[in-house]
Chain A
């Protein structure tokens, strides 16, 4: 069901893109939509209460990451750290090898994102704009695998990757996810809305198929590519089950794997350190999410227009 990270029972499926596709068409219709004739204060109260519940744990995590060991078991806990320290972060990056984990995670996520952008847009173009035998079968097959749970392909995938000698390598984390079905679906939908005349005109002018794709179609697809890129990046950054199995030695860990390993088992670390580790995992994702949100919304709006 998930794109790039199939063997993930993750709930953040990149299907997340689908609903927002319609979101923005009547965007800000909140203003005009009817509820009560005048804005209702209690709605704000309830929503703000909910927001506190949703954001509260993140705040607690951030505060916890600055607490020294001895402050973690104090009953009752103080709201602000009494004796704030950066020791937890120092330990992460000096004693433990979070720099390596961070780099691994980034390499894997970026590679998977680029792969999906290239391969999904190519197949998406073929399915949306070119006529060739077998097209429908291919689309049906790709769409059909959207529903297959990751755990189903997990075992044979591991056997395969073992035989390719890719266990405990970064390519072993990347290859299985370079071509996910969701991206094909998204790109095909978007490209179908582009006028055929563009392509016909380019052909008349003597442009080759690759040139048409590269110089005419792709630039028009920027919004869809941005949507695909951000969703794939987020999912790959957070991917867990597969790296847990394939990244077997510490120098191959990704951030979620390292955090999970330090949270359980023999290598268990204290909570302050785990909170700091969580902050490190979340920050880049948060940055990507906040910075690209505008781009993302824009892409959604354009997909919605059709």
Chain B
């Protein structure tokens, strides 16, 4: 591997513009490593090492008791992964996570796209105001957001049920209802994350040449058809990016149930990441690692599939 990259650097030095005395080249190589060193040292210790260690750990019986002596553990093969398959709580958590993602991602994307199209529809006033407003929840601590939403959703004194009461609807006890707890979390997440997608989609929409729209208008295409046949296809890379990023984030949701429902009622809002955290809390370190790796693999697969389905078809 090293020789391979070495030879590429060799060939690039042969290019006329790069021609420099050999001493200068050596100096550049040394400088390159010195500039890279501080980052790489930290990165190796705190990122690459743990990624590998986590994988290895998942095949052992490491628990909280082994923290001081992590190398003394026994290998257990695939036991942790086998245990996962028969763990009903994990099944419930996986189902909840899927529920959250399958409903939450399209909902967030749809709302964001609608807002972005609105912002891009020729309005000139208040655009900065709108952008800042829509982006505000994104920069806000998720804990603060969850605390506020819990307050909004209180069954009796909460503003949501109060407003519903004015139109004659008796709102449920949102976060304590097995039916409504998850939809509440999804609504909150869509609310919080759409601003980020609005910014992305707006950037994408602005790359669509207005001439195409003008030409289509002259040919008699209505707003919907122009959106469907001009904007949407040109927006595909942006939608793909937004979809992948949102999905990766949503697959890892944790703080929302942690603060709002503690995973309840009856584990109905327990997510995979939350369950992993709980297992870590119980001291089942290797089991938690196995779970985290399953989530990682799922994220990798779903990302790959999304790229295959929506990426360049040409």
Contacts and interface: CB of A to CB of B under 8 A. Distances in A.
Contact of A145 (B47, B134, B205): B47
A131 B12 contact: yes
Given A152-B51, A156-B289, A281-B143, A136 B8 contact: yes
A108 to B, nearest CB: 13
A230 B17 CA distance: 37
Contacts of A134: 2, 5
A160 B213 CA distance: 57
B121 A40 contact: yes
A137 interface: yes
Contacts of A132: 9, 28-29, 31-33, 36
Interface of A is mostly: helix
B120 A33 contact: yes
Contacts of A305: none
B160 to A, nearest CB: 10
Contacts, number: 379
Interface string A1-38: 10000100111110110111111011011111111101
Interface string A124-160: 0111001111111110011001011111111111111
B86 interface: no
Contacts of B233: none
Interface residues of A, number: 122
Nearest to B262: A264
A260 B254 CA distance: 12
A90 interface: no
A35 B121 contact: yes
14 contacts: A12-B196, A40-B123, A44-B126, A54-B195, A148-B296, A151-B277, A151-B295, A152-B295, A159-B285, A179-B39, A213-B35, A264-B258, A278-B144, A281-B143
Interface of B: 1-2, 5-6, 8-9, 12-13, 17-18, 24-25, 27-29, 31-36, 38-40, 42-43, 45-51, 53-54, 57, 62, 67-68, 70, 115, 118-127, 129-130, 132-152, 154, 156-159, 162, 165, 189, 191-193, 195-196, 199-200, 202-207, 210, 213-214, 217, 223, 238, 241-242, 245-246, 248-255, 258-259, 262, 273, 276-277, 280, 285, 288-289, 292-293, 295-296, 299-300, 303
Interface of A: 1, 6, 9-13, 15-16, 18-23, 25-26, 28-36, 38-40, 43-44, 46-47, 50-51, 53-55, 57-58, 60-61, 64, 72-77, 115, 118-120, 122-123, 125-127, 130-138, 141-142, 145, 147-160, 162-163, 175-179, 181, 184, 196, 203, 209-210, 213, 234, 237-238, 240-241, 245, 255-256, 259-260, 263-264, 271, 274-275, 277-278, 281-282, 285-286, 289-290, 293
Given A123-B38, A285-B140, 4 more contacts: A21-B203, A35-B223, A39-B123, A58-B140
